[in-house]
A and B are shown apart, each in its own frame.
Chain A
Amino acid sequence: MCGIIGIVSHKEQRASIVASCLRLLEYRGYDSVGIAALDVGKVEVMKTVGGVEDLLKQVDVDSISSSVLVGHTRWATHGMPTFSNAHPHTDCSSKIAVVHNGTITNFDVLKEELTSLGHRFKSETDTEVIPHMMEEWIKKGLTSWEAFKRTVQALNGSYAILAVVSGERRIYFARKDNPLTIGLGKGSNYIASDAEAFVRFTRRVVRLMDGELGYIEADEVRIFDFTGKEIAVGERVMEIGWSPEESGIIGYEHYMLKEIQESPRAVRDTLAGIRFDQVSEAASLIRNSERVLVVGSGTSYHAGLLFGHLLEKEGYDVRTLIASEATTLRPREGDVLISISQSGETLDVLNAVKNHFKKYNIKSISLTNRIESALNFVSDIRLHTRAGPEVGVAATKTFTSQLAALLYLKSLIVGEPTDYLEGAPAAVSNSLSQQGYAKAIGEELCKKSDMFYLGRGMGVPLAMEGALKIKEVAYIHAEAYPAGESKHGPIALISDGFPVFFVNDGERTALLINNLKEMKARRAKTYSVSVNSRIGADEEIYFEGDSSLAPFYISPFLQMVAYFAAVCKGANPDRPRNLAKTVTVE
């Protein structure tokens, strides 16, 4: 997921205008940024690793001005976030520049063909095939517009593409399964991933549909479908009335709900993007270890606990540690470390790995949602989730993606087939379809000040994550316990109507039923999310499916409960008080 902006105008504009638009697109996630401007003879490109601020610090963007400008913020999927992988990408002669959002699934075939024709590739990205292919068609005598059309026809996958060719005052575009919207200004036209980027300049927008391409000039916009039929632009013009900051969420009230809703895709992309060589290397390292140390903070710690629990069941010796406390454990020879962090920048995790475990020379594996991060840098094997950028502070789709990656790893370790995980995205969808019940429960819980989450076995880390989520966004004091532990103290707090949420993964139902009865006997209000067996809570949400996929039914539901409790309270779930997305202080 990336941010794209293109501007064509009669007058020359300074490149800083693109930087200001890109800043508005940074919510889409970024780890590199770039701008291209058309000069007389060639395309001038400025780019850097990092965000818009980094670019502004490193280069004088206003040293160039042009009537045709494109810009891009990149969230890496193909290739690391490096200077050479940052967009725009150019052809061999630097006369064509392209920015792209999405994934070209047949890029390897196209790249091989283009390389054999003598094209020199400068990046590892899938995007770079586009300028080279255009260059190839132009060399064969086609106009740049024909070359662009032919190129788009050859692409498989999803894309929002902008292309510029030196000597022309126009921007070519194509869209498939990635947003792209045109803005109609006076003497200038705009095109961007979302209207927010240009709404300061114009509120007249032209909607693009999937499967359309065309070009914008300073006072002309032409749109065609893939069959070549021209679309009447006039019929597409819309005047938008809402304020720009509301367009970023694209339809949702909060990022948190949008991102929970994106979980099936995040899980699927994570599983599809797994690099078998890396994961099997990690699996064999763990298989041959004496002991497995798992380190994480917050949500990632809970993902680690679940992973540890599953490995322990298979006879492995596992210690799951909270990163900030991990330094009290002295590793032994034969230990292997796996560190988990959504951002890969969490300081507690970094400290534990870099300043403590590394000293003992043990092999380490990392799992992050950023293709390059500080944690990756200090790890021997780097595994990734592909959840896409997560804007909401509370981890949601990244947690389910971590679980998908860890379950895959665990299956390789113990030598079982991984195909059961194909059902994980559907399990998440199934959970999401029960959102109405999550809302009803969330609205009930939002009136409470304290609650318990109880589970057994795999349900314990999931209960802990449920409690963390409702604490984080709805400010409800929630404690999670292994259900068996509840009568050794916590039960003293139960009074009439005290909410107790049972996480029932279906494995130790009989024991959970006992715990539930104990709570009911003290007039607690009981809730449960249950997979494959019922326990008879006052409000029971029940799912049927593969029991090894239980976390994918349970977690999204608990996330939604927390979300709706927050909304009911009038709190902003995207920006919980006192919390930061990436914790970089001790």
Chain B
Amino acid sequence: MIALVLAAGSGRGLEPYTTFVQKETISVVGKPVIRYVVDGLVDAGIDKFVVVVGDKEEQVKEALSGVSIPLTFVRQKRKGIEGAVLDGMSEVDDEVFTLAYGDIVAPPRFYRSLMNAYLEGGKDAVFSLVPVSEGLSTYGLAVIQEGKLKAITNTGSTLALAGAYVIPKGNFDNLLDYFNHLIQRGSNYFVWSGSWVDVGYPEDLIRAVESILSNRATEISEKAYISRTAVIGRGVIVEENAYVDEYAVIKGPAYIGRNVYVGNFSLIRDFTSLEEDSRVGAYAELAHALVQPRADVGSKAYLSFSIIGSSSKIGAGVVASSYPAEVTRSKVEKLGCLISPSRQVPHGKVLEPGYRE
């Protein structure tokens, strides 16, 4: 079966970061968000992909380099999500295909469940649903009556469309109307109860790190250098050529990517992900933080609930205060900063909660 993967959205909830970066290419625990989708679909039996891209086409291509299944890239010309699907569909030959959003972080079983429900449900449309309790207005919600999917609405339910569907080709100008049309004809659904994050806002990225690192066992590459006095806690993944300097404490769960440097006496607390080639100076403290490739966090910096863009430089002693912040889709009222790629935050600066640059 062929999958149509959408990776052309403007990512408004993550602005200004997404002015520079396609959100599907943001690296989370060692791989770009879109790879979670594509790898999951390959595992579920998808053997061909059409990927709809926007003006950051090259970034998506780069993020998907190394995928062994044939990929066709289609540039989105028409507007909106409907335009993306219609543009992509011109490259889809099959009558029935999988439509997947490129910004979902979920384990492979999520996609396997979709295929299972399609295979055995006896209907030509299958919708994945997921229970949500925060940010309900940001999702399409499913109305279930007597065990049957009845409609997609905006209120009255906490079961959200989960971003991967098997649907037949059709003429649709409005995605929700088309979904409702399929539902009226009879469609199948399943409720996914495992980990699932729709990356739309900064807090989603922080939750994505948490959901991937939860319940992971400690894995330390033989090619990593861990100094004799460093302390490695539970659920810590250290990739090859990472360098953890003297007296650093990686409390975990945490991810230390390839070629990452963690300086002396620094404290890497829970649910922090340091992506490839990033650096954390001495005496720095990070928790619930996502540091993109090649970013540099200065000495004595304190970052929590924060996202640091690739190749950006956070000065020494920078403090990102995270509480109380307004969040859309998280129970935790904390949000530090969202720093776009290649920015420089001056030494000693104190950032207000929810600071974006």
Instruction: Decide if A and B are genuine partners.
Output: yes
Instruction: List A residues at the B interface (Cβ < 8 Å).
Output: 175-181, 194-195, 205, 207-210, 235, 238-242, 246-247, 249-254, 257, 261-265, 268, 425-426, 429, 432-440, 563-564, 567, 570
Bound complex: CA A207 to CA B116 (Å) = 11
Bound complex: CA A564 to CA B196 (Å) = 14
Q: Is B117 an interface position by the 8 A CB rule?
A: yes
Other-chain residue from A239, A251, A254, A426 in contact with B146 (beta carbon distance below 8 A): A426
Chain B residue at minimum C-beta to C-beta distance from A192: B120
Q: Mark B109-131, 1 if CB is under 8 A from A, else 0.
A: 10011111111111110100001
**Given A238-B45, A435-B158, A436-B160, CB of A246 within 8 Å of CB of B1:** no
Q: Are B191 and A210 in contact, CB atoms less than 8 angstroms apart?
A: no
Q: Is B66 an interface position by the 8 A CB rule?
A: no
Bound complex: CA A264 to CA B144 (Å) = 10
Known: A176-B122, A242-B45, A251-B121. 19 other contacts (CB 8 A): A194-B120, A207-B118, A209-B124, A210-B186, A242-B43, A246-B112, A246-B116, A251-B113, A251-B114, A251-B120, A252-B193, A262-B147, A263-B147, A264-B147, A426-B145, A432-B144, A433-B157, A433-B159, A439-B132
Q: Is B331 an interface position by the 8 A CB rule?
A: yes
Other-chain residue from A179, A268, A434, A440 in contact with B120 (beta carbon distance below 8 A): A179
B73 surroundings in chain A (CB, below 8 A):
none
Interface size class of B (residues with CB under 8 A): 35 or more
B123 surroundings in chain A (CB, below 8 A):
209-210
Q: Is B58 an interface position by the 8 A CB rule?
A: no
**Given A177-B122, A235-B95, A425-B146, CB of A240 within 8 Å of CB of B115:** yes
Chain A residue at minimum C-beta to C-beta distance from B122: A210
B115 surroundings in chain A (CB, below 8 A):
238, 240, 242
Q: Are A429 and B109 in contact, CB atoms less than 8 angstroms apart?
A: no
Q: Are A251 and B116 in contact, CB atoms less than 8 angstroms apart?
A: yes
Q: Are A265 and B113 in contact, CB atoms less than 8 angstroms apart?
A: no
Q: Is B90 an interface position by the 8 A CB rule?
A: no
Other-chain residue from B117, B144, B157, B158 in contact with A250 (beta carbon distance below 8 A): B117
Q: Is B156 an interface position by the 8 A CB rule?
A: yes
Q: Are A257 and B193 in contact, CB atoms less than 8 angstroms apart?
A: yes
Q: Sort A-B residue pairs by CB-CB distance and give the 9 closest, nearest first.
A: A436-B158, A251-B190, A251-B117, A440-B133, A435-B131, A436-B131, A436-B133, A433-B157, A210-B122
Q: How far is the CB of B215 from chain A (nearest CB, A)?
A: 6
A254 surroundings in chain B (CB, below 8 A):
193
**Given A240-B45, A242-B44, CB of A264 within 8 Å of CB of B145:** yes
Bound complex: CA A240 to CA B116 (Å) = 9
Bound complex: CA A162 to CA B249 (Å) = 64
A563 surroundings in chain B (CB, below 8 A):
193
**Given A429-B144, A436-B132, A436-B158, CB of A207 within 8 Å of CB of B119:** yes
Q: How far is the CB of A545 from chain B (nearest CB, A)?
A: 13
Bound complex: CA A210 to CA B114 (Å) = 18
Chain A residue at minimum C-beta to C-beta distance from B190: A251
Q: Are B145 and A241 in contact, CB atoms less than 8 angstroms apart?
A: no
**Given A209-B123, A253-B113, A265-B147, CB of A433 within 8 Å of CB of B158:** yes
Q: How far is the CB of A440 from chain B (nearest CB, A)?
A: 4
Q: Is B225 an interface position by the 8 A CB rule?
A: no
**Given A177-B122, A440-B133, CB of A261 within 8 Å of CB of B191:** yes
A175 surroundings in chain B (CB, below 8 A):
122
Other-chain residue from B44, B109, B134 in contact with A253 (beta carbon distance below 8 A): B109
Bound complex: CA A238 to CA B112 (Å) = 13
**Given A253-B194, A429-B144, A429-B145, CB of A570 within 8 Å of CB of B215:** yes
**Given A264-B146, A268-B146, A435-B131, CB of A242 within 8 Å of CB of B122:** no
Chain A residue at minimum C-beta to C-beta distance from B194: A253
Chain A residue at minimum C-beta to C-beta distance from B134: A440
What would be 7 A-B contacts, judged by CB atoms less than 8 Å apart?
A177-B122, A250-B117, A251-B114, A425-B147, A429-B145, A436-B158, A438-B131
Q: Are B116 and A242 in contact, CB atoms less than 8 angstroms apart?
A: yes
Q: Are B120 and A195 in contact, CB atoms less than 8 angstroms apart?
A: yes
Q: Are A253 and B47 in contact, CB atoms less than 8 angstroms apart?
A: no
Other-chain residue from A181, A195, A436, A570 in contact with B136 (beta carbon distance below 8 A): A436
Bound complex: CA A239 to CA B121 (Å) = 17
Bound complex: CA A268 to CA B147 (Å) = 10
A179 surroundings in chain B (CB, below 8 A):
120-122
Q: Mark B61-104, 1 if CB is under 8 A from A, else 0.
A: 00000000000000000000000000000000011000000000
Bound complex: CA A435 to CA B142 (Å) = 11
